[in-house]
């Protein structure tokens, strides 16, 4: 009998747990450890943040579902990793701390045969001075509670605008190395649409601020895409979308300080500026959780497991950006030192930036970190689960592989919620990490599989995916037929 412990119940952790439980005989134990007792479909936080969905529409409690499906669950957070065990406990274990109930504050050693680290990122608001959700008129949509607070503040502002107030709205990235520009891009389009719906668009100045060196970079070095019968750069597409909606933009900007209604930022030119606002939604930096790891003699071996995020089968050799290639990206998400530990989704350490690293004239790095959310999280979690199943069955080689250098991803940014008035900006990319050797003439990506579109159909698809993935996450009949 094997025991598989999964840390985290987000997209990656939940997907892994679901596939493991469905495919493994009942004598094998699947245990999820997460401080959060609710599953949330994060892409729909955007709609909570504009008041068009309630939190209960995008989340559900995990304990009843896991109990029904035969998946163990502990509402706790991992504190330390012990991949060799210790003098008292010879089996590998993680030490966890309970976060609620009668056991709150107590710790426990949770042993495992296989470990999946799906803890995702730490939302590092503290890396930007003054950036704290709900303070200084700055908000977030990274969690459903953040999104609820954002809507409360935005709705208050909308009501003031209905009374004649002129307002400034600032949306984008809140740190020089933030990722997840796509979420901010979607939110700014939805906010703009809501202001029109409420009849106050003419009283708002809306500005996009981001660490991208050009619009549409999204941490993926931009893309050349098919657009109808034409070929278009993602920068041209985003510029067209912004101009059509009267959205201003500031790019190459590293936000470094937030005061009440004032964002301080540095540009790639080395200049320092401020931007005032009445409402801001700024995506924070993502970081690792700062976990520590120890060997059987209690010696610190953190550097064997982590470099911020978890070390996997990538090539982390230091070299200039020009010498990196898609072959350096991981395929199995297995730790090279401890073969029974895996890290899918955001939990793995990327080997290098996808967008070319840039620094300001003052030496400050200002460029986005690689995105690994959404589809990549689900896909990598499933292949990790399949590899663990093969290992349990005695197979030595890992046959399930998926590099972001040969993996596609789709991003659908809604731009309004109504069934007849909504819209969507759809961008599909293949591969996520550009392969300049295979596709030298199209900026590292395959045209036809890399395309963009704008229209009502995109919104319908976004809404359909919301219901499909909630259905899938609840493990309802034939859920596994819905792709990751």
Per-residue pLDDT reduced to its tens digit, 119-137: 999 999 999 999 999 999 9
In eight-state DSSP terms, residue 370 is: P
Query: What average pLDDT score do residues 279-302 get?
Result: 97
Percentage with pLDDT > 90 across the chain: 88
pLDDT at residue number 423: 74
Task: Give the list of residues 6+ apart from residue 448 with CB closer than 8 angstroms, or none.
Answer: 226
Query: What average pLDDT score do residues 373-380 get?
Result: 87
Range with lowest mean pLDDT among 77-91, 404-418, 436-450: 404-418
CA nearest neighbour of 185 among 220, 134, 153, 226: 220
For residue 144, tell me if it sits in a domain.
Answer: no
For residue 214, tell me if it sits in a domain.
Answer: no
pLDDT at residue number 413: 80
For residue 66, tell me if it sits in a domain.
Answer: yes
For residue 384, tell me if it sits in a domain.
Answer: yes
For residue 112, tell me if it sits in a domain.
Answer: yes
Q: How far is the C-alpha of 139 from the C-alpha of 159, rounded, in Å?
A: 18
- Yes or no: say if 404 and 221 are a contact pair by the CB < 8 Å rule: no
Task: Give the list of residues 6+ apart from residue 317 with CB closer than 8 angstroms, or none.
Answer: none
pLDDT at residue number 418: 65
CA atoms within 13 Å, Cβ hemisphere of 225: 26
CATH of the domain at 312: 3.50.50.100
For residue 359, tell me if it sits in a domain.
Answer: yes
CA dihedral 448, 451, 456, 461 (to 10 degrees): 80
Domain total for the chain? 1
CA nearest neighbour of 450 among 184, 221, 172: 221
Q: Output the 3-class SS for 298-362.
A: CCECHHHHEECEECCCCCCCCCCHHHCCHHHCCCCCECCCCCCEECCHHHECCCCCCCCCCECCC
Q: How far is the C-alpha of 221 from the C-alpha of 373, rounded, in Å?
A: 16
Percentage with pLDDT > 70 across the chain: 99
pLDDT at residue number 11: 95
Q: How far is the C-alpha of 355 from the C-alpha of 321, rounded, in Å?
A: 9
Q: How far is the C-alpha of 469 from the C-alpha of 58, rounded, in Å?
A: 10
Confidence of residue 412 (pLDDT cuts 50, 70, 90): confident
Q: How far is the C-alpha of 407 from the C-alpha of 71, rounded, in Å?
A: 29
Query: What average pLDDT score do residues 388-405 get?
Result: 93
Residue 417 pLDDT exceeds 80 = no
For residue 180, tell me if it sits in a domain.
Answer: no
Identify the domain containing residue 383 by its residue range: 3-123+287-392
Per-residue pLDDT reduced to its tens digit, 436-482: 999 999 999 999 899 888 887 777 888 888 999 999 999 999 999 99
For residue 93, tell me if it sits in a domain.
Answer: yes
Q: How far is the C-alpha of 159 from the C-alpha of 353, rounded, in Å?
A: 42
**Tokens for 262?**
């004032």
Q: Is the pTM of this model over 0.85?
A: yes
pLDDT at residue number 408: 87
pLDDT at residue number 420: 67
Can you list the positions of beta strands (E) in 107-203?
107-111, 114-117, 122-124, 138-139, 167-173
pLDDT at residue number 422: 67
- Yes or no: say if 44 and 144 are a contact pair by the CB < 8 Å rule: no
Residue 202 pLDDT exceeds 70 = yes
pLDDT at residue number 256: 98
Crossing angle (nearest 10°) for helices 375-392 and 11-23: 30
């Amino acid at each position: 009998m094997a025991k598989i412990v999964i840390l985290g119940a987000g997209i990656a952790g939940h997907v892994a747990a679901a596939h493991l439980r469905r495919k493994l005989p009942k004598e094998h134990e699947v245990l999820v450890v997460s401080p959060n007792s609710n599953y949330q479909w994060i892409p729909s936080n955007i709609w909570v943040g504009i008041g068009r969905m309630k939190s209960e529409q995008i989340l559900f409690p995990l304990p009843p579902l896991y109990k029904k499906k035969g998946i163990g669950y502990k509402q706790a957070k991992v504190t330390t990793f012990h991949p060799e065990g210790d003098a008292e406990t010879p089996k590998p274990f993680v030490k966890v701390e309970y976060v609620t109930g009668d056991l709150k504050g107590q710790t426990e050693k949770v042993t495992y045969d296989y470990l999946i680290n799906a803890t995702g990122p730490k939302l590092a608001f503290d890396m930007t001075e003054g950036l704290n959700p709900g303070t200084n008129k700055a908000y977030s949509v990274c969690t459903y509670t953040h999104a609820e607070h954002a809507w409360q503040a935005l709705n208050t502002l909308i009501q003031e605008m209905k009374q004649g107030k002129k307002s400034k709205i600032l949306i984008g990235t809140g740190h020089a190395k933030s990722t997840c520009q796509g979420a901010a891009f979607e939110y700014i389009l939805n906010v703009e649409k809501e202001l029109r719906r409420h009849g106050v668009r003419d009283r708002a100045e809306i500005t996009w601020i981001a660490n991208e060196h050009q619009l549409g970079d999204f941490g993926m070095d931009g893309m050349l895409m098919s657009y109808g019968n034409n070929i278009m750069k993602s920068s041209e597409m985003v510029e067209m979308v912004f101009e059509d909606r009267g959205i201003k933009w500031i790019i190459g900007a590293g936000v470094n300080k937030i005061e009440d209604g004032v964002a301080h930022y540095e540009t790639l030119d080395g200049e320092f500026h401020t931007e005032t606002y009445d409402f801001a939604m700024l995506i924070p930096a993502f970081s690792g959780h700062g976990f520590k790891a120890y060997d059987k003699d209690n010696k610190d071996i953190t550097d064997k497991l982590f470099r911020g995020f978890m070390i996997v089968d990538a090539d982390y050799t230091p070299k200039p950006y020009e010498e990196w290639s898609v072959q350096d990206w991981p395929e199995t998400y297995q730790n090279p030192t401890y073969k029974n530990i895996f890290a899918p989704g955001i939990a793995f350490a990327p080997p290098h930036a996808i967008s070319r690293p840039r620094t300001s004239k003052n030496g400050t790095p200002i460029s986005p970190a690689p995105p690994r959310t959404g589809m990549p999280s689900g896909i990598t979690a499933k292949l990790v689960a399949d590899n663990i199943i093969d290992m349990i069955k005695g197979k030595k080689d890992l046959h399930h592989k998926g590099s972001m250098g040969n993996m596609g991803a789709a991003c659908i940014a809604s731009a309004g919620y109504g069934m007849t008035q909504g819209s969507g900006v759809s961008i599909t990319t293949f591969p996520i990490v550009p392969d300049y050797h295979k596709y030298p003439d199209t900026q590292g990506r395959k045209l036809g599989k890399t395309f963009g579109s704008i229209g009502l159909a995109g919104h319908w698809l976004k809404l359909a995916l919301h219901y499909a993935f909630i259905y899938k996450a609840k493990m309802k009949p034939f859920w596994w037929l819905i792709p990751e």
